[in-house]
């Protein structure tokens, strides 16, 4: 912007002065009457320099568009050559004129356009500097920019001196010698040109410092302009005061120096203060950063796992000490290596694919869930690992933090557990086989009991009977009664054996669970016990009952035993009353068999269901004491409960439940 | 010489049971000739006319075989299997008369083709009744096929 404005001003001034020479307008040639004129060559050089500066301007886009970018340079090829040509001419014009002044030649270039005279040596030197500066700026070389800026500064300072001369009205400065005829607008335009060249490439060379957003840039921008302006203004004020006779030379000088010191000192102190604050802030931020870095590092090192941080390209950015310990690599050996170098060869290709896939949709997760993962140490050995991944968005793109854990120990433990399990299973199998063998043995035992124990009893009973039948006449009455007792006992023992066998069989038979109509079952059981009802008054009421779930044969046995008991213990009643039914307790059906028999003392209720336990004397009520034990065993095998309620002489009630209760009530 | 006709073959190792069975048959007035063998091997020799019974006529088959299961040498189920698997003897009615109430004995006997399975009661009256009924039914009432 500055550069463009400068080039526009320079071209305009040069053009106007040429017009002035052509049309002989004094104002355009020297600004004020009596002042030195700007020569035609000077005006021409300004136009050339202005064109060069205009062409050097940078395009708004940092890179040339594809259509216009074939030149390889930042400017278009043609533009660049024209700019160089113009700059070259400016430098040449300055050099030749300077040569004329120094050596005393007359090359005839001064009257080239108009007979306006030769430009001042200071102007010529300025053009030499500025022309060279423009040449260097266009070359875009490193270092060249700094030289260009120095040359431009030189040109600008020469012009500034002339301007100051005009300001202070120093005749000697512009009127004689080196500065003899520098025109006012020549000096001003040269200064503008110098500034324009400085701003042609504001981000490079010496200007880089000035335009930067660093503390140095701030200082340069704040101090440079006052450093130029303050002494100039103070010098002018001093001169004016001195000329008006306010003070002498010595006091004027002192005043100026002190004022300059004060103003510049204040300016510098003020700038330094703001720089100080900025710097303190920066330091604090740095310290914070260092501390944060240390904390992060500490966290990283304190992590129980090997932490490996990988960038989007799969290269290792950061690791921790655990990584060194686990993999045997030094941290610096791993930096910038592909993550795959920590894997066994056979997984590398596949892993790179997986990694690319992960990067397309990164989220925290365990890696290769359900897969056996292996890593590879520096020495080539492998070990099983568990890997957890978590992505992190940073200024440099996505990075992935992977926590790697050596699970050799865990694997070993798992293996051990598996082995123990297998052993346990084997032991269970063996134990089961042993149990089965024991069961078989028991079966064989009861088989032989059922066979061999009954035969002698049959013989005892049979032969006693034959004795009684065949030899009744020879036997006294009590001998016959004794033989009767022998037979009674043999039969009792036969019954005991039968009951015991069926009791032991109950534990072995598998249950055949099905829906059972309990009322129908009760009727069957009652029919089976017909013999025990003969010649008696028995009133049996079988109520409506829900069906149960159970083994029908076994449940029938339950009802037979309970009804048989009921019939037995009501024997002495004139009219036996027996009720079979069901009631619901807590949503669970409870079946019962109730009688009005002799009942029993509830104190002995807990003995009722034990094998061979009897609450009555055998001569009162016969029995083996197995019936209720069988009932209990069957009910328990169904997962149910059985209990009794009774009162002496007021009857007894037996209750039982079945697991699962009734279906469709 | 004309062989005595054997109508009932009693296979029973227990001498008490033999005597009680014979007693029961007598009491029931089943007077048909009874032959007693005391183990499974002898039973097979008698039935198939081998060994000690080699001179017996194979066609002279008993009307019924009363077979105990628990026998020395060859057990009752084996005797049953041999009798029922040989076409010459398969038609002879076999009644198992045993102390065993075991379900598997009953099932296996029926699978082998037993004609009847009776558990010997301990009670002598019941025992006598059972023997009487078997005798009456199989010897007197039952009509076997002719030869």
Q: Which residues contact A613 (CB under 8 A, 6 or more apart)?
A: A607, A625, A629
| Å between A505 CA and nearest CA of chain B | 10
Band (A69; pLDDT cuts 50, 70, 90):
very low
Q: What is the average pLDDT across A536-556?
A: 88
Sign of CA dihedral A10, A15, A16, A18: positive
- Position A164 scores a pLDDT of 82
| Å between B124 CA and nearest CA of chain A | 5
For chain A positions 494-513, those within 8 Å of chain B (CB to CB) are 494-495, 498, 501
Least confident of A424-438, A478-492, A500-514, A571-585: A500-514
Sign of CA dihedral A172, A173, A174, A177: positive
- Are B120 and A447 inside 8 Å of each other by CB? no
- Position A178 scores a pLDDT of 58
- Are B124 and A487 inside 8 Å of each other by CB? yes
Q: What is the average pLDDT across B81-92?
A: 91
pLDDT digits (tens, 9 = 90+) for A236-254: 888 888 888 888 888 888 8
Pull the structure tokens for residue A293.
């870095």
- Position B116 scores a pLDDT of 92
Does residue B84 surpass a pLDDT of 90? Answer: yes
Reported as type and span, the H/E element at residue A387 is: strand A382-394
What is the share, in percent, of chain B residues with pLDDT greater than 70?
A: 96
Burial class (CB in 10 A: 0-12, 13-18, 19+), A315: middle
Q: Does B21 touch chain A (CB under 8 A)?
A: no
| Å between B55 CA and nearest CA of chain A | 34
- Position A421 scores a pLDDT of 94
- Position A661 scores a pLDDT of 45
Q: How far apart are CA A203 and CA A210, in angstroms?
A: 8
Q: What is chain A's mean pLDDT, rounded? A: 83
pLDDT digits (tens, 9 = 90+) for A207-226: 888 888 887 888 888 888 88
Angle, helices B76-85/B103-112, rounded to nearest 10 degrees: 20
Pull the structure tokens for residue A546.
């829900």
- Are B127 and A491 inside 8 Å of each other by CB? no
pLDDT digits (tens, 9 = 90+) for A164-196: 877 777 655 555 555 566 788 888 888 888 888
Does residue A57 surpass a pLDDT of 80? Answer: no
Q: What is chain B's mean pLDDT, rounded? A: 87
By residue count, chain B amounts to 147
Q: What is the average pLDDT across A448-465?
A: 83
Q: What is the average pLDDT across A72-88?
A: 76
**Closest to A128 measured CA to CA, from A107, A146, A106, A152:** A152
Give the 3-state DSSP-derived string for A39-99, with helices as H, strands as E and coil as C: CHHHHHHHHHHHHHHHHHCCCCCCCCCCCCCCCCCCCCHHHHHHHHHHHHHHHHHHHHHHH
- A511-656 topology per CATH: Heat Shock Protein 90 (3.30.565)
Q: Does B20 touch chain A (CB under 8 A)?
A: yes
* pTM of the shown model: 0.45
- Position A62 scores a pLDDT of 43
Q: Which residue in B69, B102, B120 is closest to A458 by CB distance? A: B120
- Position A72 scores a pLDDT of 40
Q: What is the average pLDDT across A95-112?
A: 81
Q: How far apart are CA B10 and CA B95, in angstroms?
A: 10
- Are B102 and A447 inside 8 Å of each other by CB? yes
pLDDT digits (tens, 9 = 90+) for A571-603: 888 888 999 999 988 888 999 999 998 888 888
- Are A447 and B16 inside 8 Å of each other by CB? no
What letter would DSSP give residue A395? Answer: T
| Å between A450 CA and nearest CA of chain B | 6
pLDDT digits (tens, 9 = 90+) for A348-394: 888 888 888 888 887 777 766 667 788 898 898 888 888 888 888 88
Q: What is the average pLDDT across A464-483?
A: 87
- Position A65 scores a pLDDT of 39
| Chain B contact probe: residue of A447, A451, A554 with most B CBs at under 10 A | A451
Q: What is the average pLDDT across A130-140?
A: 84
SS3 content of chain A, % helix, strand, coil (to 5): 60, 10, 25
Q: How far apart are CA A597 and CA A576, in angstroms?
A: 7
- Position A179 scores a pLDDT of 58
- Position A74 scores a pLDDT of 56
- Position A217 scores a pLDDT of 83
Going from N- to C-terminal start, the domains of chain A cover 2-208, 212-287, 303-406, 411-503, 511-656
Q: What is the average pLDDT across B70-97?
A: 90
Does residue A325 surpass a pLDDT of 60? Answer: yes
Residue A106 backbone class (left: φ over 0; alpha: ψ -120 to 50; beta: rest): beta
Q: Which residues contact B86 (CB under 8 A, 6 or more apart)?
A: B48
Contact A566, A532 (CB under 8 A): no
With contacts defined as CB-CB under 8 Å, which chain A residues touch B123? Answer: 461, 491, 494
Q: Does B115 touch chain A (CB under 8 A)?
A: no
- Position A101 scores a pLDDT of 82
Least confident of A316-330, A552-566, A606-620, B11-25: A606-620
- Are A458 and B98 inside 8 Å of each other by CB? no
- Position B14 scores a pLDDT of 87
Tell me which CATH homologous superfamily contains domain A303-406: PAS domain (3.30.450.20)
Report how far apart, in Å, the C-alpha atoms of A86 and of each of A38, A56, A138, A201, A210 are: 20, 11, 11, 18, 28
Report how far apart, in Å, the C-alpha atoms of A62 and of each of A71, A146, A200, A460 are: 15, 21, 14, 128
- Position A66 scores a pLDDT of 41
């Amino acid at each position: 912007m500055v550069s463009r404005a400068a080039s526009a001003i320079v071209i305009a001034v040069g053009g106007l002065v040429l017009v002035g020479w052509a049309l002989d307008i004094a104002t355009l040639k020297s600004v004020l009457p009596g002042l030195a004129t700007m020569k035609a060559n000077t005006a021409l050089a300004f136009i050339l320099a202005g064109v060069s500066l205009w062409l050097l301007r940078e395009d708004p886009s940092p890179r040339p568009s594809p259509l216009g970018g074939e030149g390889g340079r930042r400017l278009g090829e043609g533009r660049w050559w024209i700019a160089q040509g113009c700059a070259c001419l400016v430098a040449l014009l300055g050099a030749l004129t300077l040569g004329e002044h120094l050596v005393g030649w007359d090359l005839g270039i001064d009257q080239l356009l108009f007979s306006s005279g030769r430009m001042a040596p200071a102007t010529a030197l300025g053009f030499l500097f500025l022309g060279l500066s423009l040449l260097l700026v266009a070359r875009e070389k490193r270092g060249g920019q700094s030289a260009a800026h120095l040359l431009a500064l030189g040109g600008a300072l020469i012009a500034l001196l002339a301007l100051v001369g005009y300001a202070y009205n120093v005749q000697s400065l512009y009127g004689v010698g080196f500065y003899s005829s520098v025109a006012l607008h020549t000096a001003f335009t040269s200064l503008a040109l110098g500034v324009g060249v400085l701003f042609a490439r504001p981000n490079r060379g010496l200007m880089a410092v000035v335009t930067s957003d660093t503390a140095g840039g701030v200082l340069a921008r704040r101090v440079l302009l006052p450093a130029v302006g303050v002494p100039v203004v103070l010098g002018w004020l001093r001169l004016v005061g001195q000329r008006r006779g306010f003070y002498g030379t010595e006091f004027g000088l002192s005043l100026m120096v002190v004022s300059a010191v004060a103003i510049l000192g204040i300016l510098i102190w003020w700038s330094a203060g703001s720089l100080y604050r900025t710097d303190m802030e920066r330091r604090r931020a740095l310290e914070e950063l260092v501390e944060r870095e240390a904390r992060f590092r500490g966290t990283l090192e304190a992590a129980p796992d090997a932490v490996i941080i990988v960038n989007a390209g799969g290269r290792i950015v950061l690791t921790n000490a655990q990584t060194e310990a686990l993999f045997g690599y030094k941290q610096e050996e791993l930096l910038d290596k592909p993550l795959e170098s920590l894997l066994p060869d056979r997984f590398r290709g596949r892993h790179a694919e997986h990694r690319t896939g992960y990067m397309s949709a990164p989220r925290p997760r365990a890696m290769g869930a359900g897969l056996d993962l292996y890593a590879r140490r520096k020495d080539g050995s492998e070990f099983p690992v568990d890997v957890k991944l978590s992505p992190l968005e940073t200024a440099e793109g996505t990075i992935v933090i992977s926590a790697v854990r050596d699970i050799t120990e865990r694997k070993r433990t798992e293996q051990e557990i598996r082995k123990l399990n297998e052993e346990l299973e084997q032991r269970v199998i063996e134990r089961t086989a042993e149990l089965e063998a024991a069961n078989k043995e028991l079966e064989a035992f009861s088989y032989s009991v059922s066979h061999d124990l009954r035969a002698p009893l049959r013989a005892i009973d049979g032969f006693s009977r034959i004795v009684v039948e065949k030899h009744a006449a020879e036997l006294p009455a009590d001998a016959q009664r004794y033989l009767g007792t022998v037979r009674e006992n043999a039969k009792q023992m036969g019954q005991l054996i039968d009951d015991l066998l069926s009791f032991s069989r109950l534990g072995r038979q598998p249950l055949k669970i099905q829906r059972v109509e309990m009322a129908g079952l009760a009727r069957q059981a009652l029919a089976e016990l017909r013999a025990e009802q003969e010649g008696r008054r028995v009133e049996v009421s079988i109520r409506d009952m829900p069906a149960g779930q159970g083994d029908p044969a076994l449940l029938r046995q339950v009802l037979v035993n309970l009804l048989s008991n009921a019939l037995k213990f009501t024997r002495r009643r004139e009219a036996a009353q027996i009720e079979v039914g069901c009631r619901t307790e807590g949503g669970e059906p409870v079946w019962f068999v109730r009688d009005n028999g002799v009942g029993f003392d509830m104190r002995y209720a807990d003995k009722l269901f034990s094998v061979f336990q009897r609450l009555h004397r055998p001569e009162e009520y016969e029995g083996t004491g197995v019936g209720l034990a069988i009932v209990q065993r069957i009910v328990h095998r169904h997962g149910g409960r059985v209990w009794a309620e009774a009162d002496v002489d007021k009857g007894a009630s037996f209750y039982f439940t079945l697991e699962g209760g009734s279906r469709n009530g | 010489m004309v062989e005595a006709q054997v109508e009932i073959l009693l296979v029973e190792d227990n001498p008490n049971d033999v005597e009680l069975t014979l007693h029961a048959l007598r009491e029931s007035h089943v007077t048909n000739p009874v032959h007693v063998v005391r183990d499974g091997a002898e039973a097979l020799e008698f039935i198939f006319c081998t060994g000690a019974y080699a001179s017996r006529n194979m066609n002279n088959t008993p009307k019924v075989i009363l077979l105990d299961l628990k026998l020395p040498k060859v057990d009752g189920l084996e005797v049953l299997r041999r009798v029922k698997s040989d076409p010459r003897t398969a038609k002879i009615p076999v009644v198992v008369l045993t102390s065993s109430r075991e379900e598997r004995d009953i099932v296996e006997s029926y699978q082998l083709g037993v004609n009847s399975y009776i558990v010997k009661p301990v009670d002598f009256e019941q025992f006598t009744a059972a023997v009487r009924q078997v005798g009456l039914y199989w010897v007197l009432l039952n009509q076997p096929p002719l030869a």
